[in-house]
Amino acid sequence: MYVPKPFEMSQPDEISAFIRANNFGILVSQGESGPLATHLPFYYDAPESALLGHMAKANPQWKNLASQEVLAIFQGPHAYISPSWYQIPKSVPTWDYVAVHVYGRCSLVLDDDGMRDMLDKLVRFHEPDSALPDQSGETFYRNMMKEIVGFQIRITNIQGASKLSQNKPIAVQERVAMHLRQVGDAGSVGVAENIERFVQTKRPQA
């Protein structure tokens, strides 16, 4: 991913928090006839530097995943930025966004114990009090596991981009955030919130 230096996400804690908050990503791999992509929820195991997930066994993408170098894409809020908001002559339109690309070597999780562990982590991440993992020995749960294929991605590289107009003066960033809130859709408001947090970190502390 092309990431200009001013927009680079370099703090591991920031990247971890972003992936966990936006864990419905896109798994991209190479199939026999070309690239394949599937939208999937992921569990990010930061201490193990790994991503866990699963897909339907009916999805042919899994058949070429073993030992393949793959890419997982995590997209945050994004929005169109009008040059009129800058109040700077000779400005052009742009797009502000936050995204993380995770690269790694993929292996399949096919044994029952590995599948139960992976499903337990995914379910409890979203619903800590769920009773479902405790039912893993029941017939319906075992039948469900037969219909999916688990995978693990051992992470080799992570790239993060947080483009929030930070190449502009703080006053301009504040105007951009104000206009984005006026636009009002979820993406615009999400970008505005990110800009406001960034500006807050750059203001002198009293």
pLDDT tens string 74-114: 999 999 999 999 999 889 999 999 999 999 999 999 898 99
| 51-28-78-189 Cα dihedral, nearest 10 degrees | -50
Cα–Cα distance for residue pair 198/192, rounded to 1 Å = 10
CB atoms within 10 A of CB 33: 7
Task: Give me the mean pLDDT over the 46-51 stretch.
Answer: 94
Total-model pTM: 0.91
Task: State the CATH architecture for 5-167.
Answer: Roll (2.30)
Task: Give me the mean pLDDT over the 152-172 stretch.
Answer: 95
206 band by pLDDT with thresholds 50, 70 and 90:
low
What separation in angstroms does the CA of 73 have from each of 39, 70, 152? 9, 10, 15
204 band by pLDDT with thresholds 50, 70 and 90:
low
CB 195 within 8 A of CB 44: no
pLDDT at residue 177, rounded to an integer: 97
pLDDT at residue 205, rounded to an integer: 57
Cα–Cα distance for residue pair 129/133, rounded to 1 Å = 10
pLDDT at residue 202, rounded to an integer: 74
Q: How far apart are the first and last CA of the chain?
A: 38
